[in-house]
A = this chain, B = another copy of it.
Amino acid sequence: MIVIMEKRATPEQVQHVVARVEELGFRAHLSRGEERTIIGVIGDERPLSTEVLEVLEGVERVVPVLQPFKLASRDFKPENSVIRIGDVKVGGDEIVVMAGPCAVESREQIFETAWAVKEAGAKVLRGGAYKPRTSPYTFQGLGIAGLELLGEVRETVGIPVVSEVMSVTEIDVMSRYVDVFQTGARNMQNYSLLQEVGKASLPVLLKRGMMCTIHEWLMSAEYILSNRNYNVILCERGIRTFETATRNTLDINAVPVAKQLTHLPVIVDPSHATGKANLVAAAAKAAVAAGADGLIIEVHPNPDRALSDGAQSIKPEALQKLMVELRQIAQAIGRRIA
């Protein structure tokens, strides 16, 4: 950390900061410029919040030097992590497409979608049993019945399943039916939940919060990793901005930025990132071109009748068509989609 003192800071204030730095177990390195005195804090600063020093008299600002995440960082592990979901590998050369409905609605719907997305080339089925809905008055998911359908469909169709976990109390039961825990954007900083999925044995698909920076996203990954679950897949799903023409703003820059900062795989959800079925293909293609390791796409056999997220769901035949273009883009950048 670097402590920048106010222009008018007194020698006593500087001395007090130095003493505090040393008391906290770090070494202090003083540098006097023409207008400002700077104090370098030497040592592993990660357990220290900047505010511990910002609070001192005469301090103008404190600038962290090290990234606050460690296990998630590429400095810690330079080579890409490859996360296995059954036979599927996420984070290698192959780009993995996950697809399925927003929510499990019925046996017919989930079976029909599962067969269709598998045929189109998707390697993982998505589908929610517990749904975080803005309104308590709209469809909240089938719960256990939905999980049971997911368990059945993965056996019959032969495709692993990713589904959202909303509460620590659901972890045990979900473990029996799904292959990957998804933690939702609204829960990205629900640290109780992160800690518990960090103790669980399934991989975690960690969606970026719509209000969270890339650094905070990696800190949330760090919560999971530091609880010894090393199988984390990051998912960019759009952030909230002033723009209202789309449901969210796909932060496409986040893909190469995250890939530089971390060894974990990064995938993109073009459905939530746009909110409109007729924008999903463009966003998906952009994501692959930008270097994403995968996509998670909402597909529904009959979006007109979907109980949730119909407006952003594409039909199986649209997925099939999109996959053709995605394969060519993957090839153009030296990767592939099976």
Contacts and interface: CB of A to CB of B under 8 A. Distances in A.
Interface of A: 2, 4, 7-8, 20, 29, 31, 33-36, 38, 40, 42-44, 46-52, 54-56, 63, 65-66, 68, 70, 75, 132-138, 166-169, 186-187, 189-193, 195, 209-216, 219, 222-223, 226-227, 239-246, 249-257, 260, 273-274, 277-279, 282-283, 285-291, 303-304, 306, 308-313, 325, 328-329, 331-333
B211 A211 contact: yes
Contacts of A195: 136
B282 A256 contact: yes
A190 B190 contact: yes
A313 B193 CA distance: 28
Q: In the assembly, how many copies of this chain are there?
A: 4
A46 B209 CA distance: 26
Contacts of A213: 242-245
Given A190-B186, A249-B251, A256-B282, A306 B33 contact: no
Contact of A242 (B42, B211, B308): B211
Given A20-B304, A186-B189, A34 B44 contact: yes
B308 A132 contact: no
A278 to B, nearest CB: 7
Contacts of A260: 278
A43 B34 contact: yes
Nearest to A35: B66
18 contacts: A33-B42, A34-B43, A35-B75, A48-B138, A49-B308, A51-B311, A54-B311, A55-B304, A56-B304, A70-B137, A132-B189, A168-B169, A214-B243, A241-B241, A253-B273, A253-B274, A328-B333, A329-B329
